[in-house]
Amino acid sequence: MCDFSMHLCHLACNNSTMLRVGSKVTCMACRSLVPTRTGVRFRIPLQKLHPLYRAIHHRYYGNSNSQRPPHRTAARYFTSMSRLPMRPPKPPPGSGGRSYQQKRNFWVARLAARLLKLRYILLGSAVGGGYTAKKTYDEWKDMLPDFSEYNWVIPDFVWELGEQIDLEKLSKALPEMEEIAKLLPDFDKIGENFTFIKSLLTSETSGEPPLKATDASTAASQDDKHYKKSSDKEKIDQLQEDLLRTQLKYQRMLERLEKENKELRKVVLQKDDKGIHQRKVKKSLIDLYSEVLDILSDYDANYNTHDHLPRVVVVGDQSAGKTSVLEMIAQARIFPRGSGEMMTRSPVKVTLSEGPHHVALFKDSGREFDLTKEEDLAALRHEIELRMRKSVKEGQTVSCETISLSVKGPGIQRMVLVDLPGVISTVTTGMASDTKETIFSISKAYMQNPNAIILCIQDGSVDAERSIVTDLVSQMDPHGKRTIFVLTKVDLAEKNLASPSRIQQIVEGKLFPMKALGYFAVVTGKGSSGESIDSIKDYEEDFFQNSRLLRDGMLKAHQVTTKNLSLAVSDCFWKMVRESVEQQADVFKASRFNLETEWKNNYPRLRELDRNELYEKAKNEILDEVISLSQVTPQHWEAILQKKLWERVSTHVIENIYLPAAQTMDSGTFNTTVDIKLKQWTDKQLPHKALEVAWETLQEEFARFMAEYKGKDQDDIFDKLKEAVKDESIKRHKWNERAMDSLRVIQHNALEDRSITDKPQWDAAIQFMEQTLQSRLKDTETVIKDMVGPDWKERWMNWKTRTSDQHIRNETKSELERLLKLHDEHTAYLANDEVTTVRKNLEGRAVEVDPVLIKDTWHQLYRRHFLQKALSHCNLCKRGFYYYQRHFVDSELECNDVVLFWRIQRMLVITANTLRQQLTNTEVRRLEKNVKEVLEDFGEDTEKKSQLITGRRVQLAEDLKKVREIQEKLEAFIEALHKEK
């Protein structure tokens, strides 16, 4: 009977306090209902019972103890049992001689009364419970039993549910008494059922033997004896199993409630996104905080400022499971993975926040990755890997550049975590030699922040003595005031370690020299990269449910699973944020005041333009200067092109075309030689030289405009940027290759023409020839003067002397000049016998000379002699246009060299005109396009802008902008934080 009552009482109250009787567990209420003669040898003090149980106890044992304390008035509100009719008095002692039939009827009546009593218990609990639920929160709290002695049974997180549940709203949401009455059973049908049961029990033909109280008493006695015979170890094991079962029960209840809450919040957030609530959507608290950290990361990547804002810094040895722990907290496999290979090559800042959809996105990108789709997860992992490799400079293995990632989803704990590269002990092949030191410096830079929460990850499957990160963490946080220790791969640790107590020493902080706020043990999967987060959670729960570590008490329930870890880290993170954020805001406020004061003192008349704003200003100036190229007149372009082209090709024309052809004495041979050499020159060199000249002219004009541009806002701070843009644009620019073919045809046709139509063209050709020959003669005179040294006038007037080489050259020059006077029509080259004669003559004057020196000196002397004769001939040809028209028939004057210079001059004019058209119609626009591309590329390269736009003024404006932005963001965050409180 007690077992049956026990189960029914559990339906009436789920919070009954449990005791052990033999091998069975019964509630206190049932113990109070069992008579003393059933074998139960002790009673429960009345003051420890629930009000409902006290009411039942008071009704049936009202005369057992006259000294008991009066029950609380709340019991009257809780149940109607206090108004039940009093139990009939016991029969007098002399009624013991009744017949067997009377005893049987009495037993049947007693059993029916017990059943009726249970009915009143059930009905009274239902009606009284519904009525009492409508009471205020204080009365309900007053009626609850005292569970302080059994707080150890229930995990800590169950008590924290009270902070998240509004009981006042819950009480208001319960139905009224009229609605509860509708839910009560049909009492007429219940009475009919009891009548039927009574008829069965009182039937004479029943083959069932009557139940006897002595059987229950005997069974209880045997259970007590068995309990006494059990060993202490078995008792402890049984208690631990019960404790674990209770903990798992509440864990499942909590998970079910969290799942329901997650779905409800998802629905609410989705409605907000659709605008159903018609309210302005604001950024979440964690998003505001993450923006502040992003700005700080851009402002000072090397942590030179006093950036003491809290972050959760995840550090650990390589392959210790840092990434897996982060993925379990983020509830998605978002990081690239490798078998023993270093995958985390730069810090990754992950901002976790709650949202209606499980998505991820980068700070500088608008694309959302749906974390519920495998293809999006693969794309996200690939993008993270690409960003890491891009951030690593050439010759390095890791980078200090931070990658910012935001992960949102239903039920995700709000916090900011920074995943750092794993600490290594040895640099392997393929790594930079300073990789180990770089990882240490990056880790220290993040951990030295006094408000950073250090999440120290330790691989439980390897020997603890091999750990490097614990020593590093103990150096940065020796007192463990902001460190949370996480032991990963506990399943492998339990399997491989011969002494499981070693795990207990680790999680109790007795093995490592480091100290920590808390110690956690987690399992992040079986080691397969294809496992889903849900399967890992199930595996983790099953492992700890069956693990002897938890069953034997080596681990506490609140120390296991990544779920409990994420809750603890989030609580610690927000506690640290609330304690430090206002102090950090004051620091940046003071920094802003100092910067503003410096600007007012040094740059009172200038606007505070940061580097990006200055770059935009310089960009507009450069584009204006490029556009100004289109305003250059055609005459200016052609004059510049013609002059530069002749400077480039004049040497070739004189040395390789004119002088060789002029050595011939026959006009026909002269013209033939000129035509052949001009054809070869046009086919191989001239078009290419012309395009080079055009491109150089465009560069020079572009540079001239950029240098001469003077606007009202001209600033020398842009000089370095303009020079870099000019050089890069010119480097990228390539002339249109098709222009060379068309230019070759034009030049060939121009050089083929020999028809000078009028006297002005003839005079212009003679003038061009004369200027060219005079220029060459002047250059030759300079070379000869350098060879022979100062003349007698300079030696006497300026006290200059000749060197020994110059003396030899001067003597050689004198000897060769005598030879030219004797042979005025001498060829351009000396014969060998002539060289020997000159050498012997010089030796006769005690001058030792080399034959090569004689030939070099002769070349310059003959060149001067030839140019002087050509100039004389040019003067004679000034009146030779008449003979030219008659093709020099019956004339001793032949001016074929004038025709040659006319052909060259006409080719220069036509080429300059063609190049000018290409410049103005095509190349200037292409150059402008190249400049725009270069400016766009420089604008996206932060490092490039930092190199090209420098100075204290720029840096001061940059700092001012960032500090103001940080302060404003911090103030907005603090305001939102106070509102959330």
Q: Which residue has the higher pLDDT, 268 or 289?
A: 289
Quick one: tokens of 637?
């372009």
Q: Which residue has the higher pLDDT, 197 or 59?
A: 197
Going by C-alpha positions, the residue among 969, 963, 948 that lies closest to residue 611 is 948
Query: In the structure, what pLDDT confidence band is assigned to residue 259 with cuts at 50, 70 and 90?
Result: low
Q: Which of 524, 554, 584 is where one domain is finished?
A: 584
Q: Are 953 and 717 in contact (CB under 8 A)?
A: yes
Q: Are 756 and 899 in contact (CB under 8 A)?
A: yes
Residue 250 lies in a domain: no
Sequence-ordered list of residues with C-beta below 8 angstroms from that of 264, at least 6 positions apart, any chain: none
3-state secondary structure of 313: strand
Q: What is the pLDDT of residue 72?
A: 40
85 burial (CB, 10 Å; 0-12 / 13-18 / 19+) is exposed
**If you count them, how many residues does the chain have?**
981
Highest mean pLDDT pick, 9-23, 332-346, 616-630, 832-846: 832-846
Instruction: For the chain, give the percent of residues with pLDDT over 90.
Output: 12
Q: What is the pLDDT of residue 168?
A: 60
* Cα separation, 187 vs 314, whole angstroms: 64
DSSP states along 21-51: ETTEEEEHHHHHHS-GGGS------GGGS-H
* Cα separation, 221 vs 21, whole angstroms: 10
Q: Which of 103-107, 424-428, 449-453 is the least confident region?
A: 103-107
Whether residue 919 is predicted with pLDDT greater than 90 in this model: the reply is: no
Q: Three-state secondary structure along 518-557?
A: EEEECCCCCCCCCCCHHHHHHHHHHHHHHCHHHHCCCCCH
35: phi then psi, degrees, rounded to nearest 5: -65, 160
Whether residue 753 is predicted with pLDDT greater than 90 in this model: the reply is: no
Q: Which of 729-743, 756-770, 885-899 is the least confident region?
A: 885-899
pLDDT digits (tens, 9 = 90+) for 895-910: 888 899 999 999 999 9
Whether residue 620 is predicted with pLDDT greater than 90 in this model: the reply is: no
Work out the average pLDDT over 769-787. 91
Quick one: tokens of 795?
């030696």
pLDDT digits (tens, 9 = 90+) for 217-233: 444 455 555 545 556 66
Q: Which of 555, 584, 613 is where one domain is finished?
A: 584
572 and 631, same domain (yes or no): no
Query: In the structure, what pLDDT confidence band is assigned to residue 160 with cuts at 50, 70 and 90?
Result: low
Going by C-alpha positions, the residue among 149, 131, 148 that lies closest to residue 140 is 131
Residue 269 lies in a domain: no
Pairing of strands 312-316, 453-459: parallel
Q: Which residue has the higher pLDDT, 574 or 197?
A: 574
Whether residue 388 is predicted with pLDDT greater than 60 in this model: the reply is: yes
pLDDT digits (tens, 9 = 90+) for 300-315: 654 445 578 888 999 9
Whether residue 710 is predicted with pLDDT greater than 60 in this model: the reply is: no
Greatest Cα pair distance in the chain: 183
* Cα separation, 696 vs 727, whole angstroms: 12
Q: Three-state secondary structure along 885-932?
A: HCCCCCCCCCCHHHHHHHHHHHHHHHHHHHHHHHHHHHHHHHHHHHHH
Whether residue 273 is predicted with pLDDT greater than 60 in this model: the reply is: no
CA distance to 170, 564, 569, 666, 705, per residue, from 254 (Å) = 17, 12, 19, 115, 75
Instruction: For the chain, give the percent of residues with pLDDT over 70.
Output: 69
168: region left, alpha or beta (phi > 0 left; psi from -120 to 50 alpha): alpha
Q: How far is CA 110 from the centre of its chain?
A: 78
Q: Are 410 and 342 in contact (CB under 8 A)?
A: no
Q: Which residue has the higher pLDDT, 606 or 78?
A: 606
Work out the average pLDDT over 547-569. 85
Going by C-alpha positions, the residue among 10, 12, 11, 32 that lies closest to residue 21 is 32
580 and 675, same domain (yes or no): no
Q: Which of 70-74, 243-247, 568-572 is the least confident region?
A: 70-74
Cα angle: 60, vertex 148, 44; to 5 degrees: 25
Q: Which of 563, 584, 605 is where one domain is finished?
A: 584
CATH no. for residue 494? 3.40.50.300
Whether residue 48 is predicted with pLDDT greater than 50 in this model: the reply is: no
Paired residues of 558 in beta bridges: none
Enter the DSSP assignment of 656: I
Quick one: tokens of 899?
């025709």
Query: In the structure, what pLDDT confidence band is assigned to residue 456 with cuts at 50, 70 and 90?
Result: very high
Q: What is the pLDDT of residue 407?
A: 92
* Cα separation, 684 vs 454, whole angstroms: 72
Residue 466 belongs to what domain range?
A: 295-304+316-584
Q: What is the pLDDT of residue 74?
A: 36
570 and 662, same domain (yes or no): no
Enter the DSSP assignment of 655: I
CA distance to 599, 601, 602, 608, 711, per residue, from 605 (Å) = 10, 10, 9, 10, 17
915 and 810, same domain (yes or no): yes
* Cα separation, 385 vs 376, whole angstroms: 14
What is the H or E stretch that residue 314 is in?
Answer: strand 312-316
What is the H or E stretch that residue 724 is in?
Answer: helix 719-732
* Cα separation, 359 vs 365, whole angstroms: 13
Pairing of strands 415-419, 348-354: antiparallel
Enter the DSSP assignment of 68: S
Paired residues of 418 in beta bridges: 313, 349
CA distance to 232, 681, 785, per residue, from 415 (Å) = 46, 75, 85
Residue 33 lies in a domain: no
Q: What is the pLDDT of residue 61?
A: 40
* Cα separation, 693 vs 696, whole angstroms: 5
Sheet of 359-362, strand order: 369-370, 359-362, 403-409, 348-354, 415-419, 312-316, 453-459, 483-488, 518-521
Work out the average pLDDT over 86-113. 50
Quick one: tokens of 641?
């092109």
Q: Which of 432-436, 730-734, 875-879, 955-959 is the least confident region?
A: 730-734
Burial 774-784 (b: 16+ CB within 10 A, else e): eebbeebeeeb
Look-up: residue for tokens 């009915």? 119
Going by C-alpha positions, the residue among 623, 619, 630 that lies closest to residue 698 is 630
Distant-in-sequence contacts of 240-243, Cβ < 8 A, 24+ apart:
240/551, 240/552, 240/553, 241/551, 243/153
* Cα separation, 192 vs 185, whole angstroms: 13
Going by C-alpha positions, the residue among 806, 825, 804 that lies closest to residue 814 is 806
Pairing of strands 312-316, 415-419: parallel
Work out the average pLDDT over 558-586. 89
Q: What is the pLDDT of residue 907?
A: 93
Q: What is the pLDDT of residue 276?
A: 37
573 and 717, same domain (yes or no): no
Going by C-alpha positions, the residue among 213, 861, 251 that lies closest to residue 537 is 251
Residue 161 lies in a domain: no
Q: Three-state secondary structure along 823-841?
A: CCCCCCCCCHHHHHHHHHH
Work out the average pLDDT over 150-177. 56
Highest mean pLDDT pick, 114-123, 204-213, 463-472, 955-964: 955-964
Work out the average pLDDT over 340-359. 83
3-state secondary structure of 373: coil
679 and 568, same domain (yes or no): no
Quick one: tokens of 27?
């509630």
Query: In the structure, what pLDDT confidence band is assigned to residue 140 with cuts at 50, 70 and 90?
Result: very low
903 and 789, same domain (yes or no): yes
Q: What is the pLDDT of residue 715?
A: 66
Residue 811 lies in a domain: yes
Work out the average pLDDT over 792-809. 82
Residue 491 lies in a domain: yes
Look-up: residue for tokens 């978002």? 334
- Count CA within 13 A, CB hemisphere, residue 411: 16
Residue 580 lies in a domain: yes
657 and 546, same domain (yes or no): no
pLDDT digits (tens, 9 = 90+) for 665-701: 678 888 899 999 999 999 888 998 998 898 888 888 8
Whether residue 216 is predicted with pLDDT greater than 70 in this model: the reply is: no
478: phi then psi, degrees, rounded to nearest 5: -65, -30
761 and 682, same domain (yes or no): yes
647 and 554, same domain (yes or no): no
Q: Are 353 and 405 in contact (CB under 8 A)?
A: no
Whether residue 190 is predicted with pLDDT greater than 80 in this model: the reply is: no
351: phi then psi, degrees, rounded to nearest 5: -100, 115
Pairing of strands 359-362, 369-370: antiparallel
Query: In the structure, what pLDDT confidence band is assigned to residue 98 with cuts at 50, 70 and 90?
Result: very low
Identify each DSSP E strand in 363-482 by its residue range: 369-370, 403-409, 415-419, 453-459
Identify each DSSP E strand in 452-536 by its residue range: 453-459, 483-488, 518-521
659 and 751, same domain (yes or no): yes
Number of structural domains (the chain) is 2
Whether residue 911 is predicted with pLDDT greater than 90 in this model: the reply is: yes
644 and 756, same domain (yes or no): yes
Please provide the distance, in angstroms rounded to a whole number, between the alpha carbons at the two ends of the chain. Answer: 53
Residue 642 lies in a domain: yes
Whole-number mean pLDDT of the chain? 75
Dihedral Cα 441, 446, 447, 451, nearest 10 deg = 160
Q: What is the pLDDT of residue 12?
A: 40
